[in-house]
Amino acid sequence: MDFIDCISLQEAKKIIKAHCQCTADVESVSLVESLNRIAANDVLAGENLPPFRRSTVDGYAVKSTDTFGAEEGIPALLTIAGEITMGQAVTSLLQSGQAWIIPTGGMLPDGADAIVMVEHTELFDKDCVLIAKKAAPGENVIQQGEDVRPEQIILQRGQLIRYQDIGLLAACGQTTISVRKKLRVGIISTGDEIVDIDSSPGPGQVRNINSYVLQALLTSLGCEAVSYGIVADCYEQLVDTMNRAVTDCDLVLLSGGSSMGGRDYSVAVIDNLGRPGVLFHGIAVKPGKPTIFGMANSVPVFGLPGHPAAAITMFHRLVKLAVSSLAGRSEQHSLVVPARISRNIASAPGRDDFISVRLEKRDDGYWAEPVFGRSGLISIMTQADGVIHISAEVGGLYAGDKIDVEIFALGL
């Protein structure tokens, strides 16, 4: 299979979706442990939230009709019937002409339908209060069940559980959550020129970047990343390591060795791990053209370019898609910022280009400044805020063209 015969990015995505189905088992974890995990089932609320009518401000609980026409020059005079204590139920009925002192979050007494902020009141004496502003029904009040009602879905199946979701689940009394088990993803770096980060590179050598970047990206997606270290450009060693990885993992990422050099063994190794083997080698994209995807029986395997920027780009375009499908994660949308491109950018028709950019806030909105560099340069990724996509149908961009910038963000 020759990667010169490249397939389109869309075709690559279709192949990946067709072969990556949800395989992750379900387990029950504590609420705190559910952070950054994938919900296995819908979670329904069992009660109203809040369970009672609450005040959103410090002030006085009143009947709104008792305040109609009240203003600074003609305040309404109400009798103070009592004071509401936090955490205590109010059993007395508020009568017409009365007001109850109430703190933020306090439970409204029956008969009250509005809260007047303390800033709009003045004590007349110890038993009476002057109301200097009318209150509409429901003003400064959160109704029972206004936040959540029984049987309402508070966590959807396939959803990535975020810290704010944990807050809602805690409010609804959920102590354990059913989640998909973490995907175990193997990472292998290849190349005689690669040394680990604690080594001093010799002539012609470079430190292992991709393993650490890929581990960070996988962790942000809730995966268990397993590094199988660095494998030299030796067919037998690579076969042995890859066999161990596909036996132990749900997905395997092989970094380097995807080009057409005489010592690039990735295609041959992947094609012989199991059926159906390599499904594509080469995509009409830049960076990331020599990307490989195959199946070792039921285990998806990616061969990613050795150049860091290209590997990162293909992770976001393809690997993340496979991870989401295998983990049963619902469709996710990238965070995008509308902007204008600051300069002309040429692009080859028939190829999808991904350009790293910096965002600059100007008086007329955001402008995207390209951060150019060869795919082997990791610094261009650290200088960028996001990436723009020039689709295969577009022959480039002109300065001032409107574009969407996909923001770099963990977990998206």
Question: Per-residue pLDDT tens for 322-380?
Answer: 999 999 998 777 889 999 999 999 998 899 999 999 999 999 999 999 998 665 567 77
Q: Say how far apart CA 351 and CA 391 lie, in whole Å.
A: 7
Is residue 321 in a domain? yes
Q: Are strands 336-341 and 365-370 parallel, antiparallel or unpaired?
A: parallel
Percent of the chain with pLDDT over 70: 95
157-168 average pLDDT score: 95
For residues 299 and 400, state if they share a domain.
Answer: no
User: Structural domain of residue 345, as residue ranges?
Assistant: 336-407
pLDDT at 206: 87
Q: Say how far apart CA 246 and CA 188 lie, in whole Å.
A: 11
pLDDT at 1: 46
> Which CATH number characterizes residue 286's domain?
3.40.980.10
Question: 292, 327, 362 — which closes off a domain?
Answer: 327
Question: In which residue are the tokens 């300069």 written?
Answer: 343
pLDDT band at 52 (very low <50, low <70, confident <90, very high): very high
Is residue 4 in a domain? no
pLDDT at 23: 84
Is residue 14 in a domain? yes
- φ, ψ of residue 74 in degrees (nearest 5): -135, 75
Is residue 316 in a domain? yes
For residues 164 and 206, state if they share a domain.
Answer: no
> Taking CA 325 as the corner, what is the angle to CA 319 and CA 183, rounded to the nearest 5 degrees?
75
For residues 41 and 67, state if they share a domain.
Answer: no
For residues 187 and 306, state if they share a domain.
Answer: yes
CA distances from 174 to 46, 105, 129 (A): 9, 22, 42
pLDDT tens column, 108-151: 999 999 999 999 999 999 999 999 999 999 999 999 999 999 99
For residues 221 and 246, state if they share a domain.
Answer: yes
19-43 average pLDDT score: 94
pLDDT at 375: 53
pLDDT at 262: 46
Is residue 385 in a domain? yes
For residues 317 and 228, state if they share a domain.
Answer: yes
pLDDT at 333: 78
395-410 average pLDDT score: 90
pTM for this predicted structure: 0.83
